[in-house]
Structure 1
Amino acid sequence: MAAALTPQYGGARRRLIEELQRKGIRSLTVLKAFDDVPRHEFVPTGLRHRAYEDAPLPIGYGQTISQPWVHAKYLELLDLKGTERVLEIGTGSGFQTALLTKLARHVFSIERLAPLAEQAREALRRCGIDHVIQRVGDGTLGWPEHGPYDAILVGAASPDVPQPLLDQLAAGGQLLIPVGDRDTQQLVRIRRGPEGFERTPLDAMRFVPLIGHHGFAS
């Protein structure tokens, strides 16, 4: 992947990985994904000098690329083995999408905003990633045609967990979603077990709102 080898960003990428380790990220497969995926390709050109800061950055249309630690935490919690079928709600910049391709077998991604979806598609193409299946639509409805999913990641905050996403979770699968109001949310992990859904509250988070039929109104 030629973009990942851009020499000017090599040192900054290594420093970011060291910072993620200092902040508690231990998964070697997640850290390697961060080393393999060039984050600077997923931020606006005017912000590329900040691409490897552990901070969220604006990507246009009122949206952000999440703080790298948040992406790393999501992926470490899922503990993907490389065989999974994964649904991502909120393609955004496409950076997390690219990380997922290093950790799972099949990646499906939904973005509500068509211009962002196209930007992400171009960034993925620049990185040589052409096996993600994308669509523009209401992520709160999921994508039942390709389910069920071993993992579902929601990159925006919802007032509650959308029922269609629960319905599309495979037996033994996991769903990660920030739940709360527009200002304060808590990351929640939901596992689908033989007796039903097990809900575990995790870290406090702050995300843009999840807009859709089962989310917030626009």
Structure 2
Amino acid sequence: MNVEQARFNMIEQQIRPWDVLDTSVLGLLSMVRREDFVPAAHRSQAFMDVELPLGQGRNLLAPRVEARLVQDLNLSKRDTVLQIGAATGYITALLAHKSQRVIALEAEAALVSAARANLRQAGVSNAEVVQGDGTQGLAAQAPFDAILLCGSVPEVPQGLLDQLKVGGRLLAVVGNEPVMQATLFTRGEGNQFSRQALFDTVVQRLPGFTEPSRFHF
């Protein structure tokens, strides 16, 4: 496989058509080697438009979804970011290049180890991976400029929104199959939050987030 041609095709055929047009994000996709963050058994699929299994019921998101989430979080180099669901650290690396600092929460011990090793190999020094329950966020380190949930949730817990600074943004894929939307929440003054639906997609659930109760008659 011609890796650089495959990377170019991923960017031009999958990612640009999905309205990822920020040149800084597109440049990162060329620079950060996605294949180094993919398990060896699936490395040949590193540039394909699919979610890749990581074990323990976890997947890597498809490249176009990863890129769109990073773009739409609209980060600056002054931002401190909380990522929920580090997986193997690829999105963590992209966020780190766009921000001042990233703290990535990951529940699975094996993925924590993999993400730390991958980030170290990639030379990323402004991101740390912490094993923990993403549903609770990281109140001890709050408030954050931005929070990214790397997977879907039925709804965003208020406790996570409360960990945003005024003007901070939280981006998550919200809903239930077959209808989910990437949704951007922005904190106003006090406890005021606005929400904006950005695009439709269906992605794997993040572990631990409570499913809505269903009534049976």
TM-score (norm 1): 0.89
Structure 1 contact 94–123 (Cα < 8 Å) conserved: yes
In the alignment, structure 1 residue 98 sits paired with structure 2 residue 102: no
Alignment correspondent of 2:196: 200
Please give the secondary structure, in 1, of the residue aligned with 2:183: strand
Alignment correspondent of 1:3: none
Cα distance, 1:177 vs. partner?
Answer: 1.1
Please give the secondary structure, in 2, of the residue aligned with 1:73: helix
In the alignment, structure 1 residue 118 sits paired with structure 2 residue 78: no
Please give the secondary structure, in 1, of the residue aligned with 2:153: coil
One-letter amino acid matched to 2:108: L
Structure 2 contact 116–128 (Cα < 8 Å) conserved: no
One-letter amino acid matched to 1:197: F
Cα distance, 1:163 vs. partner?
Answer: 1.5
Structure 1 contact 162–215 (Cα < 8 Å) conserved: no
Count of aligned pairs between the two proteins: 210
Q: Distance in 1 between matches of 2:128 and 2:88?
A: 15
Please give the secondary structure, in 2, of the residue aligned with 1:115: helix
String of CA shifts for 1:98-138, please: whole Å, max 9, x gaps.
Answer: 11111011101000111111111111122122331221111
Alignment correspondent of 1:21: 16
Q: 2:5 aligns with which of 11, 16, 22?
A: 11
Q: Distance in 2 between matches of 1:175 and 1:165?
A: 8
Please give the secondary structure, in 1, of the residue aligned with 2:204: coil
Q: Distance in 1 between matches of 2:89 and 2:2?
A: 22
Alignment correspondent of 2:128: 133
Unaligned runs of 5+ in 2: 213-217
Please give the secondary structure, in 2, of the residue aligned with 1:180: strand
Residues 165-204 of structure 1: pairs in structure 2 closer than 5 A: 165-181=160-176, 184-194=179-189, 196-204=192-200
Cα distance, 1:182 vs. partner?
Answer: 5.6
